[in-house]
Chains A and B, each alone.
Chain A
Amino acid sequence: GIQVEQSPPDLILQEGANSTLRCNFSDSVNNLQWFHQNPWGQLINLFYIPSGTKQNGRLSATTVATERYSLLYISSSQTTDSGVYFCAVDNFNAGGTIYGKLTFGQGTILTVHP
C-alpha cells in the first residue's frame, strides 16, 4: 500500500514563530487531507488538498502531486496550535470514484510555548 512519511516528528516553537511541516507519499494520490488532533483527541480537518495551494487564516498548504509531497505552513503560531498534525492520503480510484479510505502518516507533534 501507499506509504506516508511526515517530518519532523516533533517540533517545539515559541509563540509567534513560523513553521513548515512536510508530508511525503510513495504513490500518486487522488485525496490528500491535513488534520490537527488537539490534546483532547479531536481530529479537525484543516485542508482537502490533493494538488495546488490553499490558505485559511494563518495556515496554508501546498501539494506538489507530481513530486509526491505536501507542505503545511503555520504562521505566527499560537499555543492553541499545539497538538499532532497528520497528513492522510488515498490513491484509490475505481471508475473515477474516490473515497475516504485514508492512510495516515505518523504525525508531527507540535508544541507551542507562550
Chain B
Amino acid sequence: DTGVSQNPRHKITKRGQNVTFRCDPISEHNRLYWYRQTLGQGPEFLTYFQNEAQLEKSRLLSDRFSAERPKGSFSTLEIQRTEQGDSAMYLCASSLVSGSNEKLFFGSGTQLSVL
C-alpha cells in the first residue's frame, strides 16, 4: 500500500492555459474522489468515480473542468482556460467500501497557482 499519489505537486500557469492533474489511487480501491481546498477552508467535493463511471459532479465543477478515470485505475482532472479563481489545492482521495464503512485516504494534493 503506497498511498494515494498525485502529480504534479505544484503547478504554476498563466490565465487561459489548460492544465491536467493526475491521481493514482491505492490499488484495488474502487472509489475515487476529487476535492478542492482554498486557503483557510475545508476541502469541497468536486466529483466521484465508482470504478470508471463518474457518478456525481458538484455544481462547483464548471464546464471548463473535466475528469476521467479510464479503466477504473488512475484519474485525471483537466481545467481548460484557467482563471485566477481556479487557484487552489486539488486533492484526490480513494476508498474501498467495506460493509457500511467507507474511510477516505487522501493524496498530498496538487497546488495550482494561476497568474
Which A positions have Cβ atoms within 8 angstroms of B?
A: 4, 30-31, 33, 35, 40-45, 48, 86, 88, 98-107
Contacts and interface: CB of A to CB of B under 8 A. Distances in A.
A100 B106 contact: no
A100 B33 contact: yes
Contacts, number: 61
> Which range contains the number of B residues in contact with the other chain?
20 to 34
A100 B104 contact: yes
Given A99-B31, A100-B48, A100-B95, A48 B43 contact: no
Contact of B104 (A40, A102, A107): A102
B48 A99 contact: yes
Interface of B: 31, 33, 40-45, 48, 50, 56, 89, 91, 93, 95, 97, 100-106, 108-109, 111
Contacts of B102: 31, 48, 98-100
B109 A104 contact: no
Nearest to B55: A99
Contact of B42 (A30, A44, A86, A101): A86
A40 B91 CA distance: 13
A109 to B, nearest CB: 9
A107 B101 contact: no
